[in-house]
Amino acid sequence: MLHDFVPPTPRQGPRRRPVFAAAALAGVCLTAAGCAGDGGPGPGAGPESASGPASSTPSSTPSPRRSPVPDASPSSGTASAKPLPRGPLSGRTVVIDPGHNPGNRDHTREINSQVDIGTGRKECDTTGTATDSGYAEARFTLDVSRRLRTLLEEQGAKVVLTQDGDRAFGPCVDERARIGNRERADAVVSVHADGSATGNRGFHVILPAAVNGGGADTAGIVAPSRELGERIAGNFVRVTGSAPSNYVGGDTGLDTRDDLGGLNLSTVPKVFIECGNMRDPADAALLTSAGWRQKAALGIADGISSYLKR
């Protein structure tokens, strides 16, 4: 769940089965951009089977690169201190932003404080959502982000996390944006999971809109952020089998927003990804599976890698 906006009103009515979903599962890319540099069968994005939406049974199939493991263990600091191998992403910097923070729930006064998001003021952060069984979004985002860091570092990228379980709360949305800007990141991805109604399923990638007001000016990042988002969406389908959201983005898996401080204040290419809906039982079964979280990290990593190697 995003931390600085009011969710849109979900589309009503039965889910329309887009041609995209079937095509993606047959090995067709979400976009032409999503195909380049993926190094595997045609991309797609998200967790979906050929017979329809993602199965409600968590997948235990090992990732093509790494076997699924329990919650990834933390490391000290926000950037790895270990030497990086030489690889196709050597010299590149990626900032991963794990949405929310497990400690936010104990610091409501601090996270409710208002911060400047360029076009107005909003809360510093929120606690995020959780599954009905109590698995917190903040735990999910941190676990996926650590897995994603490992995959990108294996390709030689410098990876910085905005928080790694090493802060009592936050950071606030404005600081999250500043971290990516300060690092002059080649790409920034904010990892989330949604908290919508039961029956609303699938992932979506949020792209920055053209915003110019206050301290926000996204003119220079709109186009590259869209390409980054398209490549992530295409690879997320391919790796996880998940379908694009049936309630946001018109079945495209992409949603453009102008009210997110994390995007408005960014000066480098940045997107958000809502990996699924924690309040839908079928999606929750995926999100709570360590094996599926590894696939989610791999899909995002392949999208970032494809974008950086273009």
Q: Active-site residues: which are they?
A: 274
The span from the CA of 254 to the CA of 244, in Å, is: 8
Kindly give, in sequence order, each residue whose CB lies less than 8 Å from that of residue 84, ignoring residues fewer than 6 positions away. Answer: 90, 153, 156, 157, 158
Six token digits for residue 227: 């390409």
The span from the CA of 194 to the CA of 207, in Å, is: 16
**Helices 137-153, 290-308: crossing angle, 10 deg rounding:** 50
State the sign of the Cα–Cα–Cα–Cα dihedral 234, 236, 241, 244: negative
The span from the CA of 264 to the CA of 178, in Å, is: 11
The span from the CA of 299 to the CA of 283, in Å, is: 16
Report the Cα 281 to chain-centroid distance in Å.
Answer: 20
Per the DSSP assignment, residues forming a β-bridge with 205 are 254, 273
Helical ranges in the chain per DSSP H: 19-25, 32-35, 108-111, 137-153, 173-182, 222-240, 261-264, 281-287, 290-308
* Residues constituting the chain: 310
DSSP 269: -
The span from the CA of 231 to the CA of 220, in Å, is: 19
For residue 292, which phi and psi values (nearest 5 degrees)? Answer: -70, -35
